Structure 1
Amino acid sequence: MRVDLSDPLLYRDSDPEPVWSRLRAEHPVYRNERANGEHFWAVMTHGLCTDMLTDPRVFSSQNGMRLDSDPQVLAAAAGKMLNITDPPRHDKIRKVVSSAFTPRMVSRLEATMRETAAKAIDEALAAGECEFTRVAQKLPVSVICDMLGVAPADWDFMVERTRFAWSSTALDEAEEARKVRAHTEILLHFQDLAAERRREPKDDLMSALVCGEIDGAPLTDQEILYNCDALVSGGNETTRHATVGGLLALIDNPDQWHRLRDEPALMPSAIQEIVRYTSPVMHALRTATEDVEFGGERISAGDHVVAWLPSANRDEKVFDDPDRFDIEREPNRHLGFIQGNHYCIGSSLAKLELTVMFEELLARVEVAELAGQVRRLRSNLLWGFDSLPVKFVPRA
C-alpha cells in the first residue's frame, strides 16, 4: 500500500479512516515517501505511539514536533519553546508556565468561558443559521487571551489573526505570505504586552513568563514569545476543531444528544469521547537520536518518526467499535492530549472549555441540524473543519 499521509488533500477530499485502518493492520510503522523525495516513519497503532511518545531519550522533540516546519525557525526555537524542548530544560519551562494556573485565574477563566459561550450561542440562535466554525472559535481565543492578559478590546483582533495564521496548508506563495503576516502581527502584539507586564505585572500568564526564571536567569524575549505562540496555537485551533467535530458527532447521533441532555452526569465521559473521536491534532513528530529497531522496522538516527494520533485513537485493539461515537465509553485511553512529558499542559483547561460550550448548547438548543455542506480543512496537522453550517432550534 502506497499513500502519502502528509498530503493535505487526503483529509479535505476523502475519508482517511480506511487508510489508517489498513496501515494499522499491514504497516504499523509505515515508511512514508513524499513527493519531494524525503521520507518519515508514520506510527499508526496506539501501543507504538504510546511507546514512542513516552521515550524522549530515543525520540526527541528538539528538532520539531510537526511536519513541514521551517528549519531556521526550529533552530532558533529549540530549547526555548516548550513544544520543541527535551528534558531537563523542558520541565523547567513547563514549571514556569504552569505557575500561572492559580485557582484565582481558573475561576476567572471559567466565568469568561460561560459569558463568551452563552453570548455566541444566543447570537447564533437569533440568526437562525450560523457558520459554527466561527461560533466555536470565539471561546478558545477568548480564554487564551484572558489567560495571557490580552485586553478584551483586542480579542476580536486575535480571533481574526489566529484564523489566518493556523488555518489550512497554504496553496501558494500569496496565501503563505498572508499566514506569515498574521503570525507576525500576533507576535508583535505579544511583544508589546510583555513590555507592559515588565512595567506592571498582573495576575496573568504573561506576567508569569516575564517574571519567571530558569536556573536563576529570567526568560529571554525569544523564550517568552515562542511560548506565547505555542500556547495560542495549541489552545486555540485544537479546542475549536474538537468543538466543531463534537457538535457534528452529536448531530449525526441524535440519541447521544438527547442522552447527554437528560443525563448531565455523562458530560465528563462525553468530553473525553469528543476528544478521542475528533482527534484534532493529526500528528506529533519526533526525531530518532540513535539507530533503533521499532515496530519491526529499522529506523536510523536523524529520521523523523511521527505518531498519527487519529489512527491510534481508532485502534481496534484498544477501543471497542472505535468508529462508533459513544459518550459512555469507558475506559477511554485516547492520545488526544499526547502522552509522556509533552502531555498537553492545557488539557484540563481544554476539557473545561468543551464542557462549558456543550453545557451551554444543551441548555439553549433543542435541535441542531446541518444547514449546508460540511467541509474539512486542507491540512496534514489539524484534522478539522473549514465549514459547518448549522441551524439551531431553541429550547422552549
Structure 2
Amino acid sequence: MDTRPLCLPERLDEVDLANPALHATHNLLPLWRRLREEAPVYWSPARGARPGFWVVTRYADVQAVLSDHRAYTSERGNLLDTLLAGGDSAAGKMLVVTDGPPHRALRGALLRPFSPRSLEVVVGSVRRAARELVRRAVERRTVDFASEVAAHIPLAAICDLLGVPPEDRPRIIGLTSSALSSAEGVPTEEATWSSRNGLLLYFSELAASRRAKPYDDVVSLLVTREIDGRPLSHEEIVYNCYSIVMGGHETTRYAMIGLLQALVERPDQWRAYKYGEVGTASAVEEALRWTTPVLHGGRTATRDVRLGEAGDTAG
C-alpha cells in the first residue's frame, strides 16, 4: 500500500511537477485525476531560470502528441530534464530522439537483432536465469526482490544482446540504477550525470573493442552496419547502446517490482493468476498499465497546435 501523503494542493501552480522529490515523496494520483478533469492541457509555469512546459494528461491527447510526427519532434529530447536544459546532445543520433527518414534508417539497422527469430536464444537464457534467481530467492526466504531478482533478469538479456561480459554486469546495474533514480528516492543532478557519462564511456570502449574484433552481438552488428550507404558513426553506436540498456533495463525492472507489490497488496489478483483465471499475456499488459514504469515522455511542438476538447493551444 502506498503510504506517502496524497498530493492535494489548493492551487495547481503550487506544484512543481519537474521536481523529482515531489514524485518520490507524494502519491500523485489525486493530482493526475484533477489535471485530467480540470486542466488536461496544463501550462506548468516557469520557475526561476527554468522554463515552463505543457503537461498533457488525457489518453487521447497523449496519443495525438506521440503519433503526430509533423507537429511534434523528439529531436530536442524526450526526457523532461534534458528538454528544460535546452536539448539532448544525442538528438539525430539516438533512435528515440530522431525523427523522419533518419529514424527509419536507424530503426532498420537495429531491427535484426530484435526479431523473434534472433531473440529465441535470448528468451531461453532469460527463462533459465529467471528460474534460477527465483529458486535462490525462495531458498533464502528473505530477499530484496528489487536488487537481487528484478535487477538481474532484464539486464541479463540486454547484456547478452550487447555482448557485455559477465564480470562487467554488476557495474552496469549500478550505473543504470543511479542514472535514473536513487536509493534515497531523490537523485542528485551530479550523481545522475556521472552515471550517464559512465555508461557512455563504457559503451564507447566496448564499441572500440568490437571494431578491432567483432563478435556475434548487437554492438558488433552496429560497428559493421551501414545506413544510407554510410557506416554508423562512433557516437551513433554509443548512444544507441546506451538507449537499449537504459530503456530495456529500468522499465522492465520497475514493472516487475510494481507488479510484485501489487500482487502482495491484492491477494485475490494473485490467486486469479495462479489458478489460471488470468493469462500471462493479459497479466503482463495490466502490469505495464498499472505500474507505469515510464514516468513521462516529452516532445516539442514544431508549431502552434490545438489539443483537448476545449481546444487548448500548445506551442
TM-score of the two chains, using structure 1 as the length reference? 0.70
- The number of equivalent residue pairs is 298
1:25 aligns with 2:40: no
1:1-396 alignment, distance < 5 Å: 1-2=11-12, 3-36=15-48, 38-69=51-82, 74=87, 76-103=89-116, 105-134=118-147, 135-168=149-182, 175-263=188-276, 266-295=279-308, 296-300=311-315
Match of 1:234, as an amino acid? G
Give the CA deviation at 1:7: 2.4
**Alpha-carbon separation, structure 1, partners of 2:142 and 2:173:** 21
**Partners of 2:154 and 2:249 within 8 A in 1:** yes
Q: Which has the higher strand share?
A: 1
Q: Which piece of structure 1 moves more, 254-263 or 122-131? A: 122-131
Give CA deviations for 1:322-365 in whole Å, capped at 9, x if unaligned. xxxxxxxxxxxxxxxxxxxxxxxxxxxxxxxxxxxxxxxxxxxx
Number of the residue aligned with 1:332: none
Gaps of 5+ in 2: 1-10
Decide whether the 8 Å contact of 2:113 with 2:119 is kept in 1. Answer: no
| 1:105–1:147 contact (8 Å) kept in structure 2 | no
Distance 1:249 1:68 in 2: 29
Moved more, 261-270 or 71-80: 71-80
More RCO (CA 8 Å, sep 6+): 1
Provide the residue aligned with 2:8 in structure 1: none
User: C-alpha offsets along residues 51-103 of structure 1, whole Å, 9 cap, x if unaligned?
Assistant: 11100110111111011117889453111011111111111111111122245
Q: Displacement of 1:107 after TM fit?
A: 1.6
User: For residues 171 and 45 of structure 1, do their structure 2 counterparts lie closer, same or farther at Cα, with a shift above 3 Å needed?
Assistant: closer
Gap regions ≥5 residues in structure 1: 301-396
- Tell me if the contact between 1:62 and 1:78 (Cα under 8 Å) persists in the aligned partners: yes
Q: Tell which deviates more after alignment, 103-112 or 230-239.
A: 103-112
Letter in 1 for 2:21: L
CA distance in 2, matches of 1:187, 1:259: 43
Larger CA deviation: 156-165 vs 39-48: 156-165
Matches of 2:248 and 2:23 in 1, distance apart? 22
* Letter paired with 2:292: S
Give deviations 1:102-141, integer Å, cap 9, x for gaps. Answer: 4553122112212221222222222222222102111111
Change (3 A) 1:72 1:286: closer
Moved more, 99-108 or 157-166: 99-108
C-alpha contact 1:170 1:176 (8 A) present in aligned 2? no
CA contact (8 A) 1:105 1:204 kept: no
Q: Which amino acid aligns with 1:299?
A: A
- The answer as to whether partners of 2:20 and 2:186 remain within 8 angstroms in 1 is no
Is 2:21–2:186's contact at 8 Å kept on the other side of the alignment? no
**Residues 241 and 34 of structure 1: CA distance in aligned 2, closer, same or farther (over 3 Å):** farther
Please tell me the residue identity of whatever aligns with 1:157.
R
- Compared CA separation, residues 29 and 71, structure 1 to 2 (3 A): closer
Normalising by structure 2, we get a TM-score of 0.88
Q: Report the Cα offset of residue 192 of structure 1.
A: 2.3
Q: Per residue, is there more helix in 1 or in 2?
A: 2
Displacement, 1:222?
A: 0.4
